[in-house]
Structures are given as structure tokens and as C-alpha cells.
Amino acid sequence: MAYVLQAVVANHQTLVPEPKWIGDSKVVSLHEGIAMVPITAALYDQFIAATPVGEGQLLQQFTYLSEAIAEELRLLSVRGGVAYVEADFFGGTGVQQAVVWNSGAMVLRPILTHGHGAINQALHLLGVDRRGRVDEFDVVDLGRYRSNRDWLELART
């Protein structure tokens, strides 16, 4: 079974009120005061349409992280730490990717891990304490749903 995620993750108070750029997405509350904004194709396209010609993705490894999105997250990080995370798993194998900004500066350079680790590092920098549990990913319950579509359904109900 597949697990796919592309999202902005931050402390809930950093994402409320909702950023103006949120488009068709929603802020989804997780555990431990953390929230996320699933990045939809329409939201990504909105940013691409506003990106000057010649500016591409921050790194080719990211599916939905454009320079325009990265700049919005950098600006948002003045309110508190902000991570951009992606995961793509099928049958227990896959990759995770993350980058974190805080106070307008990148504090975790883009990291790619085969298997687990990148999202846990990002969540740790956002203040998530695993407190003896398996990992930060489980603490905030990011495994509850397996796709952005499912997370958005939760937010809309």
C-alpha cells in the first residue's frame, strides 16, 4: 500500500490564521500542537504561475517545492519554525525529504533519506518530543492517513 505526503508542517499557532497563499488546501491539526497544510496540485500550480521564468524547483528531488513556495515558507518562519516535508513509500520502501526554516533562515538544509529519518529530523526541530515513543512521525500521527486527499477530507469535515 502506498503512502504519499507533500505538506507544510508547523506549530498550529504558526499556521493560524491561515496564510493567504493556502489556496484550495486547509490547515489540518495533528497531535502535540502541530498542524500541516497538504500541498495540492492546484496550490502548487498557483505558485508556479507566480514564479518568474527561469526559477525552477528548489531541488529536483522535491515534487512540490518551488522557489515561490520556499520563499513563502521562509517568510512564514518569522512566526515560528516551518518545515516542508515529502514522503513517498510503497511496500515499506521509499524516501522522505524535508527542509526547515526558522526566524527567516534555513535551519535544516534539504535532506533526503531512503527509508525513515528526514521528517523526524524536521519535526524534532519544530519541538516535537518523541517521549519514548517510536519516533516524532508517530507522535504527531502522520501515519493516520496515506494521502493528501485523505488529510484534506479530514479538514473539510
In tens, the pLDDT along 128-144 reads: 998 887 899 999 999 99
In tens, the pLDDT along 50-104 reads: 665 454 545 567 888 888 888 899 999 999 999 999 999 998 789 999 999 999 9
Burial 106-127 (b: 16+ CB within 10 A, else e): eebebbebeeeebbbbbbbbbe
Each domain of the chain, given as residue ranges in start order, spans 2-156
pTM metric for this prediction? 0.90
Q: What is the pLDDT of residue 73?
A: 94
